[in-house]
Chains A and B, each alone.
Chain A
Amino acid sequence: MINYALKRGALALLVAFTVSLATFFLLNFSTDPAEVIAGEDAEPEVVEVIREQYGFNRPLIVQYGSWLKGLSQGDFGESYYWRRPVLDLVIEHAPVTIQLALMAVFVTIVVALPLAIFAAMKPNSIVDRMALSTAVAAQAIPNFWLGLLFIILFAVTFPIFPVSGDSSFAHFIMPAIVLGTSSVPAVMRLARTGLLDVLSSDYIRTARSKGYRGTTLLVRHALRNAMLPVVSVMAIQLGHKLGGSVVVESVFALNGLGRLALDSILGSDVPTVQMLVFVFALIFVLLTFLSDILNAWIDPRMRLR
Chain B
Amino acid sequence: MIMEADTEKPGAENTVADVKQNPLLKIENLEVDIPTANGTLHAVRDVSLTLNRGEALGIVGESGSGKSMSALALLGLLPAKAQRRASTLRLGRHDLLSMSDGEIAKKVSGDRITMIFQEPMTSLNPVYSIGRQLTETMTLHGKSSEAQARERAIYLLGKVGLSAAESRLAQYPHQLSGGQRQRVMIAMALMNEPELIIADEPTTALDVTVQAQILRLLGDLQREFNMAMILISHDLGVISRTVDKVAVMYAGQLIETGTVKEVLDQPRHPYTRGLLDCIPEPGKQKSARLGTIRGLVPSLIGETKGCAFANRCSMVRDDCLDQSPPLKVEEGEGSSPDHSSAFRSFRCVLPADWVSDQPRPAEETSNLVNLSLESGVGQQEAVPLIEAKGVSRRFSIRRSLFSRTETLTAVDDVSLSLSKGDVLALVGESGCGKSTLAKMLLGLDAPSNGEILFEGAPLSGINPLERTRRIQPVFQDPYSSLNPRKTIGEIIIRPLNVHNFGEVKDRQKEVERTMEMVGLPRRLFHSFPNQISGGQRQRVAIARAIIMRPEILICDEPTSALDVSVQAQILNLLQELRQELGLTYLLITHDLSVVEYMATKIAVMYLGQIVELAEKEKIFSDAAHPYTNVLLQSLLTMQPGQKIPDTGLGAVYSNPLDLPKGCRFHPRCPEAINECRLKEPELGSLYVRCLRHPLKSNDVTIKNETNFLEY
Chain A interface residues toward B at CB < 8 A:
7, 10-11, 201-203, 205-213, 216, 220-221, 224-225, 298-301, 304-305
Contact = CB atoms under 8 A, between A and B. Distances in A.
A71 B167 CA distance: 49
B102 A203 contact: no
Interface string B108-119: 111100110101
Given A205-B123, A299-B127, A305-B399, A213 B117 contact: no
B516 to A, nearest CB: 41
Contacts of B109: 208-211
Given A7-B401, A205-B117, A301-B174, A211 B105 contact: yes
Given A10-B402, A300-B172, A211 B122 contact: no
Interface in B198-249: none
A208 B125 contact: no
A7 B401 CA distance: 9
Contacts of B105: 208, 211-213
Contacts, number: 81
B373 interface: no
Contacts of B111: 211
B117 A305 contact: no
19 contacts: A7-B400, A7-B401, A10-B402, A201-B122, A202-B119, A203-B122, A203-B124, A203-B126, A209-B115, A210-B110, A210-B140, A212-B105, A221-B125, A224-B128, A225-B126, A225-B127, A299-B126, A301-B126, A304-B174
Contact of A211 (B123, B141, B399, B402): B141
Interface in B75-129: 75, 77, 101-102, 105-106, 108-111, 114-115, 117, 119, 122-128
B697 interface: no
A283 B111 CA distance: 50
A94 B105 CA distance: 53
B127 A211 contact: no
A226 to B, nearest CB: 10
Contact of B117 (A10, A206, A221, A225): A206
A202 B141 CA distance: 21
Nearest to B75: A209
Contacts of A212: 105, 110, 140
A305 B128 CA distance: 18
| Interface SS majority for chain B | loop
B172 A208 contact: no
Closest 9 CB pairs of A and B: A210-B110, A211-B110, A202-B122, A209-B115, A203-B125, A300-B172, A211-B109, A202-B123, A213-B105
A300 B127 contact: yes
A217 B402 CA distance: 39
Given A224-B128, A299-B126, 20 more contacts: A7-B400, A7-B402, A202-B123, A203-B125, A205-B77, A205-B117, A208-B75, A209-B117, A210-B114, A211-B106, A211-B109, A211-B140, A212-B110, A220-B136, A221-B128, A225-B125, A298-B127, A301-B126, A301-B174, A304-B174
Contacts of B126: 203, 225, 299-301
Contacts of B399: 304-305
B685 interface: no
Given A213-B105, A299-B127, A208 B174 contact: no
Contacts of A208: 75, 77, 105, 109
Contacts of A224: 127-128
Contacts of B188: 206, 210
A201 B119 CA distance: 11
A297 B174 CA distance: 15
A213 B109 CA distance: 10
Interface string B504-536: 000000000000000000000000000000000
B174 A203 contact: no
Contacts of A202: 117, 119, 122-123
Nearest to A198: B125
Nearest to A122: B80
Q: Which of B102, B115, B125, B400 has the most CB of A within 10 A?
A: B125
Contact of B110 (A11, A209, A220): A209
A38 to B, nearest CB: 46
A53 B119 CA distance: 73
Contacts of B172: 300-301
Contacts of B136: 210, 220
Contacts of B22: none
Contact of B124 (A10, A206, A213, A305): A206
A298 B125 CA distance: 12
A225 to B, nearest CB: 6
A271 to B, nearest CB: 33
Given A212-B105, A213-B101, A207 B125 contact: yes
A183 B110 CA distance: 40
A229 to B, nearest CB: 13
A19 to B, nearest CB: 18
B144 interface: no
A212 B141 CA distance: 10
B653 to A, nearest CB: 17
Contacts of B114: 209-210
Nearest to B121: A202
Contacts of A211: 105-106, 108-111, 140-141
A224 B114 CA distance: 24
A44 to B, nearest CB: 49
B187 to A, nearest CB: 13
Nearest to A213: B105
A224 B129 CA distance: 13
Contacts of A298: 127
A99 to B, nearest CB: 33
B35 to A, nearest CB: 14
Q: Which of B174, B185, B399 has the most CB of A within 10 A?
A: B174
A220 B115 CA distance: 19
Contacts of A203: 122-126
A264 B400 CA distance: 40
B257 interface: no
A305 B123 contact: no
Contacts of A213: 101-102, 105
A206 B125 contact: yes
A201 B109 CA distance: 18
B372 to A, nearest CB: 46
Contacts of B122: 201-203
Interface string B541-571: 0000000000000000000000000000000
Contacts of A300: 126-127, 172, 174
A7 B402 CA distance: 8
Interface in B346-391: none
Nearest to A220: B136
Nearest to B140: A211
A206 B130 CA distance: 13
B552 to A, nearest CB: 38
A220 B127 CA distance: 11
Nearest to B129: A300
A147 B125 CA distance: 44
Nearest to B118: A202
B609 interface: no
Contacts of B140: 210-212, 216
A298 B172 CA distance: 12
Nearest to B106: A211
A206 to B, nearest CB: 5
Contacts of A299: 126-127
B51 to A, nearest CB: 18
A11 B399 CA distance: 15
A257 B108 CA distance: 59
Interface string B385-429: 000000000000001111000000000000000000000000000
Contacts of A304: 174, 399
Interface in B125-183: 125-128, 136-137, 140-141, 172, 174
B383 to A, nearest CB: 48
A131 B644 CA distance: 55
A298 B126 CA distance: 10
Nearest to B174: A301
